[in-house]
Amino acid sequence: MKAIVDCNSFYCSCERVFRPDLAHQPVIVLSNNDGCIISRSDEAKQLNVPMAGPYFKAKPLIEKYGVHTFSSNYNLYGDMSWRVMETLRMMMGKENVEVYSVDEAFIDMNHIPAESLHDVGKKIKETIELWTGIQVSVGIAPTKVLSKVANRLAKKNKKTTECVLILDTPEKINAALQKTKVDDVWGVGYKYAYKLHQWQIDTAYQLKNMDIEWARKNLGGIMGVRLIKELCSEIAIEMEDERINKKIIATTRMFGEPVNNIKYIKEAIATYTSRAAEKLRRQKSVAKTIGIFIVKKEESHTARFKHGPSISASIHLPIATSITNELIKPAVQLVDKIFEKDTFYKKAGVILSDIVNDDAVQGNLFVSETTNKNRLLMNMIDNVNFSMRDDVLKFASSGTKRNWKMRQELRSKRYTTRWDELYEVK
């Protein structure tokens, strides 16, 4: 059996941990730059506050009903996610936990007796909520896809399921699949859902009964075959080991307002490169390729959530490195190649690739001793910035005022990662 533990309205739940007065109040969290709504509490959903809708369009409804609104606080959310996942590892064993996303984790339950599954699922839920304050739902079934179905129904029917649902018999599985739209099946994207409806396949149960060869032909080959098998309680998607080192590292952000000054674009690219380099050093790796991109502001006022065209460029470095200044220099030079005058941009990003372990790169006998000690310098900068936070030490090319930074006008305090923002108990 497989289980998935999913945090309920995760970003909203994180805010509520430190604002217990909001326990039964409508709460929403906004995306980068306070653009769209990306998380809603159940109370906000009942008021028909649209998910992924533009904040400015929903603002009249939000103000009418006094919906509590927060900017994204990723420092807080990342730390709370780690606490939830660490709790799961302590309870179920690290080898049985697969972190799937910031608010979801699969658990291998094969070592749990069938008669104990519900008690264990309930214990997981109660322990996470007690230790972290985050509300979760638990779905248990023979496969990953079916556990996602169970979890969705557990969330949808909180009062009857108490957020724990087990699909352990063919009858329960078929009943659950009949209640699940094909759009809500894990692994079925928007385009495939549209095609399936065209073929009059509207529920997960109907999809389950399709032929394997039909899935191979019409649902993306092997991926479609795996999906059908999983719906039929046959394990086709195995548990995966946690990937410690990333093969690609990216840092991207929206600007606070559209930017058309190349100086600001370069400052942003230098800042994002510094962030990416820190991540690179944290996993003791170096990168051979660096790429940048900038996204134009969409001119059409009728387009809904449509990004403007993205322009990118990349360069292969002569020697793989994690030294910030060695990465900033080529990154900033790439801006000159893709920047267009009299054009406004709303987003930029840096991507590091061709990543290998740091110890795979040899030192250079033909450079000064000072240059070979740059790694020690980077470690010192990282340690200072980690302890003091907010880029106390930074490269001049990153700018000082940073007027292009994204808006976070409604952000709560970073209670768990900043000494000066600790939660105060009166």
Evaluate if residue 128 carries a pLDDT over 90.
Answer: yes
Longest CA pairwise span in the chain (Å): 72
- Cα-Cα-Cα-Cα torsion 158, 163, 164, 165, nearest 10 degrees, comes to 40
Whether 381 maps to a domain, the answer reads yes
Residue 240 has which token pair? 């995966």
Whether 9 maps to a domain, the answer reads yes
**301 confidence band (pLDDT: 50, 70, 90):** very low
* CATH number (domain holding residue 358): 3.30.1490.100
Same domain, 137 and 276: no
Whether 356 maps to a domain, the answer reads yes
Q: In whole angstroms, what is the distance from residue 187 CA to residue 199 CA? A: 18
Q: What is the pLDDT of residue 409?
A: 83
Residue 121 has which token pair? 């699922």
Q: In whole angstroms, what is the distance from residue 374 CA to residue 105 CA? A: 38
On whether the CB atoms of residues 162 and 136 are closer than 8 A, the answer is no
Whether 121 maps to a domain, the answer reads no
Q: In whole angstroms, what is the distance from residue 249 CA to residue 186 CA? A: 26
Per the structure, the count of domains in the chain is 2
Q: Torsion-angle region of residue 295: left (phi > 0), alpha (psi -120 to 50) or beta?
A: beta
* Model pTM score: 0.82
Within a 10 A sphere around the Cβ of 179, how many other Cβ atoms? Answer: 16
Residue 149 has which token pair? 């179905």
Helix (H) or strand (E) holding 209: none
Same domain, 394 and 263: yes
Whether 228 maps to a domain, the answer reads no
Evaluate if residue 302 carries a pLDDT over 60.
Answer: no
Whether 192 maps to a domain, the answer reads no
Whether 352 maps to a domain, the answer reads yes
* CATH number (domain holding residue 43): 3.40.1170.60
Q: In whole angstroms, what is the distance from residue 123 CA to residue 104 CA? A: 17
**406 confidence band (pLDDT: 50, 70, 90):** confident
Q: In whole angstroms, what is the distance from residue 224 CA to residue 344 CA? A: 42
> Which tens digits make up the pLDDT trace of 197-213?
999 999 999 999 999 99
* Residue the block writes with tokens 């009059």: 200
26 CB-near residues (< 8 Å, 6+ apart): 40, 41, 43, 44, 46, 47, 49, 65, 66, 67, 68
On whether the CB atoms of residues 362 and 231 are closer than 8 A, the answer is no
Evaluate if residue 56 carries a pLDDT over 70.
Answer: yes
Residue ranges making up the domain that contains 65: 1-114+126-141
Among the listed residues 381, 410, 419, the one whose alpha carbon sits nearest the alpha carbon of residue 398: 381
Average pLDDT value for the chain: 89
Whether 105 maps to a domain, the answer reads yes
Task: Provide the strand spans (E) within 301-420.
Answer: 310-321, 345-357
Q: What is the mean pLDDT of residues 232-256?
A: 85
Same domain, 387 and 256: yes
> Which tens digits make up the pLDDT trace of 348-400?
999 999 999 887 666 666 656 555 667 788 888 888 888 777 778 888 888 87
Q: In whole angstroms, what is the distance from residue 140 CA to residue 169 CA? A: 11
